Amino acid sequence: MKKEFEELEYQNGFGNHCVTEALKGALPVKQNSPLKCPYGLYAEQISGTAFTVPRKLNQRSWLYRIKPSVTHEPFHPRDPAHKRLVSDFTGSGVASVTPTQLRWKPPPIPEARTNFIDGLFTVCGAGSPFLRHGFAVHMYIANASMEGHAFANADGDFLIVPQQGRLWIKTEMGRLQVKPGEIVVLQLGIRFAVELPDGPSRGYVLEVFDGHFQLPDLGPIGANGLANPRDFLTPTAWFEETSWGHSGFTIIHKFGGGLFEAKQDFSPFNVVAWHGNYAPYKYDLRKFCPYNTVLFDHADPSINTVLTVPSERPGVAVVDFVVFPPRWLVAEHTFRPPYFHRNCMSEYMGLIYGMYEGKADTFVPGGASLHNCMTPHGVDTATYERTISEEPKPSKIPDALAFMFESSLIPRVTPWALSSPQLDPDYYKCWIGLRSHFDRQQIPCEEKD
């Protein structure tokens, strides 16, 4: 293990105004933009929201760096172009819509040397970064660290869900170590590089074009529970002074769905101190404090919302990030697994480890499913039959972590996801065996207990 990444320190709390310096005295006192900064650093602001948005939503940080971000050669379209990354879903040209239930097996790690960026491929999405509205779901399969390269996304925020292998992420605001079971959010514009200390890595990425993730309101739950703000961890300032010779470092910049490259002679991870509330963070999903029914019926999955990007319509999310963690099931005379349903929202699901309660045998870690708007779905036949034949005792869902990206928008699916060898043509068969239990002679069940 690389020594330098051991025991990183983080700043606790969601959306905090952080203050951090890697060299004592590097932060200017009393002002953001002094004529001369301490240590001869350059001051640079990064705005995550329009200057004028209401204060409670305003996000920006001030970075004090060895050289400013602007010190680079011109941007050029990346060559060869990244062929499997899509951001604009507004026309039917690139991706297409289907009401069919879709399920994919885990994509295999490539044999060729592939870093996090080259290993990204888009599965589905809606809207467009040009309109600042919508989202994309990608997966990544990678086996190599990003050496001499940093990535920034001017299209949207990335929420990354590693499923296999840790990610050591250098960012302008400091470093993050992220392992399966944790998530990391890297916002619009923030430069980062992904290293793979364990070798091969696979995971899911939710990209949102609208704005930034928020914690959901808790309503009658009260002031505590679900994802607690203090468990979100933001890096502390860290910098490297590595010289990359003439034009030795490459910035990869995603903009309008395309990738551009610019060369420079220094590492962009040269921020000696920063302050502000626009910064990446990670969160351990095992710290999620789930709430659930304690008497009867099945709670809607919104009860497990970790983070949300709200739309302008009250209560309607552009996208919610929902987790299905281990929890006790105690409901009486209740069908406890997910009910059969059709949803006006669209549901993309993945599995980090363990098994998913709705598809006990057939949904595997690293796999994914998409149930689009109003597409019927629910537990598979085996889970249904097993559940109705068992006497429900209090039981605990064993150690497992499934998640859902749920959107009010209608996602189109990319051609490579639809023609993927991992797409399971037999998915529908998990429900086709659901037989009629209808019996006119059967006496309606009275509420027991």
Ligand X SMILES: O=C(O)Cc1cc(O)ccc1O
Q: In angstroms, give the least distance from the CB of 381 to Fe ion.
A: 17
Taking CB under 6 A as the rule, which mask of x and - marks residues 286-325 in contact with ligand X? ---------------x------------------------
CB within 8 A of 314, min separation 6: which ones?
A: none
Active site residue 341: yes
Distance between CA atoms of 11 and 63, rounded to whole angstroms?
16
* Active-site residue, 298 included: yes
377 near ligand X, judged by CB under 6 A: yes
- Using CB under 6 A as the binding criterion, the count of chain residues that bind ligand X stands at 8
406 binds Fe ion (CB under 5 A): no
Structure tokens at 212: 């930034």
351 binds ligand X (CB under 6 A): no
- Quote the DSSP letter at residue 134: E
Nearest distance in Å: CB 358, Fe ion: 8
Residue number, 358 or 411, with CB nearest to ligand X = 358
**Which residue, 279 or 404, has its beta carbon nearer to Fe ion?**
404
404 binds, among Fe ion, ligand X, none (CB under 5 to 8 A by kind): ligand X
Separation of alpha carbons 209 and 126, rounded Å:
10
182: annotated active-site residue: no
Binding mask 382-411 for ligand X (x = CB under 6 A): ----------------------x-------
Element (H, E) at 164: strand 157-164
Active-site residue, selected from the candidate residues 82, 298, 332, 385: 298
Only one of the segments 200-208, 266-274, 313-321, 337-345 lies at the binding site for ligand X (rule: CB under 6 A); that segment is 337-345
Among the listed residues 157, 182, 210, 347, the single contact to Fe ion using CB under 5 A: 347
In angstroms, give the least distance from the CB of 182 to ligand X. Answer: 22
Contacts 24+ apart (CB under 8 A), 52-57: none
Edge-to-edge strand ranges of the sheet holding 60-65: 18-21, 271-276, 60-65, 42-47
**Measuring CA to CA, which residue among 346, 348, 349 is closest to residue 365?**
349
Taking CB atoms, the residue at the shortest distance from ligand X is 338
Task: Give the residue nearest to Fe ion (CB).
Answer: 347
If phi > 0 it is left, if psi is from -120 to 50 it is alpha, else beta; for residue 382 that is alpha
Rg of the chain in Å (alpha carbons):
23
Euclidean distance between CA atoms 87 and 183, whole angstroms: 22
